[in-house]
Structure 1
Amino acid sequence: MSQSFSSRWLRRIIVSAVAGCVLSGPALAQEKAKLRVSVIPIVDVAPLYAAQKQGYFAEEGLEVDTAPVSGGAAGIPGLVGGAYDFAFSNIVSLAQAVAQDLDVKIVAPGSDVRTEAPDIAGIFALADAGIKTGADLNGKTLAVNNRNNNIWLYAREWIEQTGGDVNKVTMREIPFPQMADAVRRKQVDAAMTVEPFFSTNVKDGTLVAVDFPYIKVQPGLNVAQYVATDDFIAKNPETVARFKRALKKGAEWVNANADQPAFAELIASYTKMQPELVQNLVLAPAPVSVSAESVQKTLDLMKKHGLLEAPMKASDLLYGDLND
């Protein structure tokens, strides 16, 4: 091989390699790194805020901005409309979106419920109201944060399983922070809420815990997840993977520090609770995976209660491997 030929051959290899780097660089750079995530300001989203505060998102080259909403159902329209890149939502809201031909999928775990009482969500009422079962709610009003979401669905199933008639119970939408006042003023007879509101509401004795519908109906339920649109996932697969890795580290941090002052300070920072009150909250371990079996049970309940016209498979809602 002549020296001139060797030189030309070598230059071609170098030029090709440089060109490859130039092409791959912008391709990676096109993936979105500044993200907007809709959240509900409750204990369940602690892993996301932990990932922010501990720098796990930054380690993955991501910048995350949060946008508080009233419930998982409220985040889906903004997600589909492009206002959010990820949304903290629930199976009920997600499945209904998919049933309406919206391309949305679960990309990461959000929160689980406990397997035994007390739980992270429960029904409370006035101590002297005499409400102990679903049968006691017949002819009365129950507050939920959003209609047709997980709270609404599992409250209905609990009412049925404890002797009540869901057709005789009125469900009224009230934001979590306002539920206790609504019960005290007798605008509603009972309410189903989540932490941090549940423990603080029943602390003074005027309001009491009635029951824990999630545990009664489906212990260990995968109650919430982070979701994204198919379009966003297709255009940003590495971003999704980075988001998931950082969120998992956030969950691991929460599980390791749930009894530490740093965790109480974290919860207080976005719920506006006093740190000393956080120590009395009921917590469930932060999940690092999503169970297809748990998702399927929720979908079956949705079909039973008229939220789905046709059966739906859990596999239709899951993106990638959510067990690692």
Structure 2
Amino acid sequence: MFEAAAGNQRRYGRRGFLSLAMASGVALTASGCGLLGGSDDSGSTSGGSGLEKPKIKVSIMPTIDVAPFHLAVQNGYFKQEGLEVETVDAASGDASLQKLLSGEVDVAYSSYTPFFIAKSKGNADIKFVADASSAGPKSTEIVAMPNSAVKSVHDLAGKKIAITATNTICDTLTKSVMRDNGVDYNGVQWVSIPFPQIGTAVKRGDVDAGFLTEPFITQSAKVNGTVEIIDTASGGTKDFPTAGYGSLGKFTSASPKTVAAFQRAMAKATKESADRSKIEPLMVKFSKVDDATAALTNLLTFQSALDARRLQRVPDLLQQFGSIPAKIDVATMIVPQASAS
């Protein structure tokens, strides 16, 4: 879902690489999108013969919802499918999408919003290959300082609110909870700041409030003293689909076996991600938080298989806000789903 990273590339070797930083797939109930880094892959290659493209590039962001992806690398699930994956870091969902549109990567992880906006503009034939996450309780929040004039969602009208970028899940969820509570969001000044810096900006008074995901919510509360104003994964956006993996139609049509291999590896890793003990060490190592913060972090709901009816909530909400001009039929954007082998 979420956006805050570097811009360098890494290739997964035999030991692989773990980078951490919003369906009917296997889920883990726990919330948040947090920072993550890299590691090595220890799996051996088996099967995967006949893949149209055995080496692919995937753009990612340092968010907790890519944990299953990194577990797939770490445990060799991609290699077992005959697939070699190279990652390219992106600073935001829109940046990740641009890497896909430019041909720099074959698959892009992003919050869903940029994908649908690009589709609505006719910029690309976007296809979804795998789900990533849904917002769980207290996984995405608007935060402020205890002594701030912003005490509730009703105080957000006309304020400066920090988000990673406009037309992402950040402002979409914020607008939704404001509207649900009868608050006008049209006068909000959106300020683009990377997730790791939002808490500090709120504390300094550069902004009145900020949109955060985990583990940044927990970390900022501990370091900066920020407090929750509202849980944006509530009301009309409860269990809202936040992020997934997209590609271009020309790739998915030309490489169906490659796409299926990616999906099988992700499905297997997503099932494994239901064990929280596999996620917390990644936050400690790659989000640079301590054990106590990792233990307190609210994890999001990890997803793998895509469900058109559930995902339809995203473009429908975007259309309501005028972010896209007309209805988008999500079912036409989802490629066939392969299950874990």
TM range (shorter): 0.7 to 0.9
1:111 aligns with 2:130: no
Q: Structure 1: which amino acid aligns with 2:330?
A: A
Match of 2:319 in 1: 303
1:149 aligns with 2:168: yes
After superposition, give the CA deviation of every residue in 1:225-275 in whole Å (9 maximum; x if it has no partner): 1111111111211111000110111111110x21x2x43223334333334
Q: Distance in 1 between matches of 2:301 and 2:184?
A: 33
Q: Distance in 2 between matches of 1:85 and 1:147?
A: 24
After superposition, give the CA deviation of every residue in 1:260-306 in whole Å (9 maximum; x if it has no partner): 2x432233343333344322210133213223222222211111111
Flag the 1:188–1:84 CA change in 2: closer, same or farther, 3 A: same
Larger Rg: 1
Q: Which runs of 5+ in 1 are unaligned?
A: 1-26
Q: Structure 1: which amino acid aligns with 2:279?
A: F
Q: Distance in 1 between matches of 2:90 and 2:98?
A: 11
Match of 1:162 in 2: 181
Map 1:1-324 to 2 at 5 A: 28=50, 31-101=52-122, 102-114=124-136, 117=137, 119-204=138-223, 206-255=225-274, 257-258=275-276, 260=277, 262-321=278-337
Question: Do the aligned partners of 2:162 and 2:198 also contact (CA within 8 Å) in 1?
Answer: yes
Q: Distance in 1 between matches of 2:338 and 2:227?
A: 37
Q: Structure 2: which amino acid aligns with 1:59?
A: Q
Q: Distance in 2 between matches of 1:69 and 1:205?
A: 26
- Report the 3-state secondary structure (helix = DSSP H, G, I; strand = E; otherwise coil) of the residue aligned with 1:168: coil
Question: Do the aligned partners of 2:128 and 2:247 also contact (CA within 8 Å) in 1?
Answer: yes
Q: Structure 2: which amino acid aligns with 1:137?
A: L
Q: Distance in 2 between matches of 1:63 and 1:95?
A: 28
- Report the 3-state secondary structure (helix = DSSP H, G, I; strand = E; otherwise coil) of the residue aligned with 1:273: coil
Q: Distance in 1 between matches of 2:89 and 2:74?
A: 17
Q: Which runs of 5+ in 2 are unaligned?
A: 1-48
Whichever structure has more helix as a proportion of its residues is: 1
Q: Distance in 2 between matches of 1:36 and 1:274?
A: 31
Residue identity over aligned pairs, in percent, reads 28
After superposition, give the CA deviation of every residue in 1:82-133 in whole Å (9 maximum; x if it has no partner): 111111112211111111221111110111112xx3x221111011114233
Q: Distance in 2 between matches of 1:182 and 1:83?
A: 32
Question: Do the aligned partners of 1:46 and 1:267 also contact (CA within 8 Å) in 2?
Answer: no
After superposition, give the CA deviation of every residue in 1:122-153 in whole Å (9 maximum; x if it has no partner): 11101111423332012211111110111111
Cα RMSD for the two superposed structures: 1.9
